[in-house]
Amino acid sequence: MAKLVAYARVSTDPQRENTSLSWQRERIEAYCKFAGHELVSFVEEVESASGKTRRPLLDAALKKAQSAEADGFICAKLDRLAPNTKQGLDIATDLRQGGKQLVIVDLNLDTSTPIGQCIYTVLLSFAQLERDTIVERIMAGKEKVRSLPASSDRPGVQYLWLPHH
């Protein structure tokens, strides 16, 4: 049985109001109950991780996970923890060097083992690829919209008129 510090994050206030934070909490609590782990702390954050190198609530949760009262850190999903590969690797490395485990619930992943660490590293690279691909598609879509002729029928709205055949 491990004593874990839990972390849940959403990016926006509307996500706080829907079920995302409660969904993450339920998954973490169910996992801990099943695995026999104890939650010593639960941190919930509402803040976008995009473009940020540090987040105060995450930093505080990680510091608590490094303390003598905890054995590690747990979160519901990989994308809630780190927005890019480097930050994800830094978090796992810091925890591992402190003799602490990192658990990602939806992946059933524990980085306290060599195979768990390897799988975590590979999955971080795929998560980064997915994020970069999404950004690339969004940028391509915006560029396409900018290249289309604007209609003067509805000010402020741009669309392409395609006649019916």
Predicted confidence pLDDT, tens digits, the chain (165 residues): 899 999 999 887 767 667 689 999 999 999 999 999 999 999 999 877 666 667 889 999 999 999 999 999 999 998 888 878 888 899 999 999 999 999 999 999 998 888 988 998 888 888 778 878 888 988 888 887 777 776 544 445 555 556 665
Report the CATH superfamily, name and number, of domain 3-142. Answer: Resolvase, N-terminal catalytic domain (3.40.50.1390)
DSSP per-residue string spanning the chain:
--EEEEEEEESSHHHHHTTHHHHHHHHHHHHHHHHT-EEEEEEEEE---TT-S--HHHHHHHHHHTSTT-SEEEES-HHHH-SSHHHHHHHHHHHHHTT-EEEEGGGTEETTSHHHHHHHHHHHHHHHHHHHHHHHHHHHHHHHHHHSPPPSSSTT---------
- pTM confidence score: 0.75
Q: Which residues are catalytic, by number?
A: 11
Domain ranges (residues) in the chain: 3-142
